[in-house]
Amino acid sequence: MVYDDVEVADRSDLRDLQNERLRETVRRVYDNVPFYRERFDGAGVDPADVETVEDLPQLPFTTKEDLRETYPDGLFAVEDDEIRRIHASSGTTGKPKVVCYTDGDLDVWREVMARSLAAAGVEPGDTLQNAYGYGLFTGGLGFHDGGEELGATVIPTGGGNTQRQIEFAQDLESDVLGCTPSYCLYFAETAEQQGIDPRELPLETVVIGAEPFTDEMREEIEAALDVDAIDIYGLSELIGPGVSVECVEAKDGLHVWEDHFYPEVVDPDTGEQVPPGEEGELVLTSLTKEGIPMIRYRTGDVTTLYEEPCECGRTHRRMDNVTGRADDLLVVRGVNVYPSQVEEAVLSFDEVAPHYRIDLDREDSLDTIEITVELAEGTDADPDEVRERLENVLSLTPDGLHVVDPGGIERTEVGKVKRVYDHRE
């Protein structure tokens, strides 16, 4: 379902809109944010030099370090009395990233989230069970407001309390579940432990985000719950969830809502734009954000942009499912490994549950890596045989490969799952 006609706009009309909004944004940040004015002046760029999105490479990048160094409000572009809401990152490393929203920003967020949910197959009148966390994390309120804007009934369950979540899904006949991919699996697993077939629940769609995941993980979720699993992407620095989403018709890349967020993909090392279809780091520029506009924000997420038309008819470009971040790269004894590569190997075995843990350590100045996987419930596979087969498909030779009993890896009921434990510092 197309929620807004702009989703199917002619590309030339969309480009005109982008150029107009970019010019306004560049002028806004130059006039109202000393940080950007100094950066632009340092790069020798005047706002008048930026006429179209093709001029973006003239502008410097913005990074998460910039947000932390200007903490709490050094990038705000409005006065305090114009701010209606503040969100922030968890701040697990250094200062949190603080972002603000004006009335206009909240209107845009509701609209792009309603648009995203509609693309995912959610319809007015559906019941959306929102298991994303409420609070400073943007997931809960983003889904909540977007669901109501679309005309869905929202159950604000938040994270955790999984037994109650399952009861509500049954008793209130929830059509849609919004949560992280790891929680989807935990939800299904808990239902089975309660003697409930998760495939018999009323759920038809799960909208999953906030964590990288592979296609194999999606297949596990869809099989476990008998649903369509739709990927949604966003980040607090731009707006929250609702920057891009898969369409249920194709499930082949996430449509970036380009009338609000202009995407680039750059080489992580050089910062140069890469051609369409080539992998790199996603860079986003907000085109309508008032409270804290972002100019060429380096997300750290590794993806690919595609310009080919989508079968759903939407004209906005698509990005690949983000399976990792540029800073998720693990370098162990000179070998580059992404956690998603381990996940692909783990999920290629029916005898292994979709849970894993990576432990990094250092012995005598040498890095070590140990991987722990878990046998699937009900399997009679021999752990030693599973270990040997896994060793043959992994892209590296771990210092330890442990196969534990079902339930042997700790689950995450609230928040984002943690896969990698780095003990080297």
Each residue of 121-147: pLDDT tens digit?
A: 999 999 999 999 999 999 999 999 999
Higher pLDDT residue, 66 or 396? 66
CA atoms in the 13 A half-sphere facing the CB of 252: 11
pLDDT beyond 70 at 334: no
From the candidate CATH numbers 3.40.50.12780, 3.40.50.970, 1.10.3210.50, 3.40.50.300, the one assigned to the domain spanning 1-327:
3.40.50.12780
Q: Convert the pLDDT of each residue in 256-313 to its tens digit.
A: 999 999 999 999 999 999 999 999 999 999 999 999 999 999 999 999 999 999 999 9
C-alpha–C-alpha distance, residues 5 and 2, integer Å: 7
CATH superfamily placement of domain 329-422: ANL, C-terminal domain (3.30.300.30)
Average pLDDT over residues 18-46: 98
CB 334 within 8 A of CB 98: no
What burial class does residue 350 get, using C-beta atoms within 10 Å of its C-beta: 0-12 exposed, 13-18 middle, 19+ buried? exposed
Check residue 90 and give its pLDDT: 63
Domain residue spans in the chain? 1-327, 329-422
Nearest Cα residue to 142 out of 129, 157, 150, 132? 132
Provide the CA 61 distance to its chain's centre, in angstroms: 20
| Confidence grade of residue 93 (pLDDT, cut at 50, 70, 90) | low
pLDDT at 396: 77
> What pLDDT sits at residue 332?
73
Question: Any residues with CB less than 8 A from the CB of 65 and at least 6 apart, and which?
Answer: none
218-234 average pLDDT score: 97
- CA within 13 Å, CB half, 42: 8
pTM for this entry: 0.85
Contact by Cβ (8 Å): 94, 143: no
Q: Tell me the average pLDDT of the chain.
A: 93
